[in-house]
Amino acid sequence: MTKLAARRDEEADEKPRRGRPRCLIRRHAVLESSLVLLGERGFRGVTMEAIAEHAGVGKVTLYRHWPSKAAIFMDAFLAKQQAEVPFGDTGSALDDLRIGMLSLMKLFRGPMGPQVAGLIAEGILDPEVGEILRTRWVRPRRAEAAKIVQRGIDAGQLPKDCDAEALLDALYGPIYLRLMLGHEKIDRAFVEKTFATVTKGIRP
């Protein structure tokens, strides 16, 4: 966490530090390039040197801004991703959750699907990456979804003893599983069936 959090600390540093400030243009160029190369060569095939060259940037600049390749991809992904993959807000908690599942499906079927998978894989292989992934991707989304569940409980649409975490894992786990193992495709029928099964299963 320390390493990956470093960048954030600096971001939090509101006071303008001495010396020449870090150039945001370069920052964007790097994130842009990393995604381009990611598309062309895949996670493993992208090297720090390739990113640097493609972005017209020195390698040192990369290491100044990010502690590792995975951290670059993380930033690039989150920057592009923020506020996408929304949940609904329809008044019905069940509908909201269903909308969330469908938007995740869309994400996973699009070009970012393999990227998310790659990030999760990196998170498994490198604990630091895993931690930052949980902190910046999993938990924020979970918090949002948990609010919906709470609303459902309050509105009597979900049982009072409903375990939000287990419910969300039951809904999303199957989708993530197909993304990662690639044994079956993630189509609408599958998502709807999963949703139907689980929601029926939790009803009192």
Which partner from the list DNA, its own copies, none does 63 bind, CB cut-off 5 to 8 Å by kind? DNA
Burial state string for 43-77 with b = 16 or more CB within 10 A and e = fewer than 16: beebeeeebbebbebeeebbeebbbbbbbbbbbbb
- Indicate whether 174 belongs to the interface with its own copies (CB under 8 A): yes
- Phi–psi pair at 47, nearest 5 degrees: -115, 155
Site for its own copies in 101-140 (CB under 8 A): 117-118, 120-126, 130, 133-134, 138-139
Residues 6 or more apart in contact with residue 81 via CB below 8 angstroms: 112, 137
Q: 150: part of which helix (H) or strand (E)?
A: helix 139-154
Q: Which does 44 bind (CB under 5 to 8 A by kind): DNA, its own copies, none?
A: its own copies
3 state SS of 91? coil
Structure tokens at 101: 């599942």
39 to 68: interface string for DNA, x by CB under 7 A: --------xxxx--x--xxxxxx-xxx--x
Note whether 23 binds DNA by CB under 7 A.
yes
Which positions from 66 through 85 interact with DNA, judged by CB under 7 A?
A: 68-69
Binding site residues, its own copies, CB under 8 A: 42-44, 117-118, 120-126, 130, 133-134, 138-139, 142, 163, 165-167, 169-170, 172-178, 180-184, 190, 193-194, 196-202
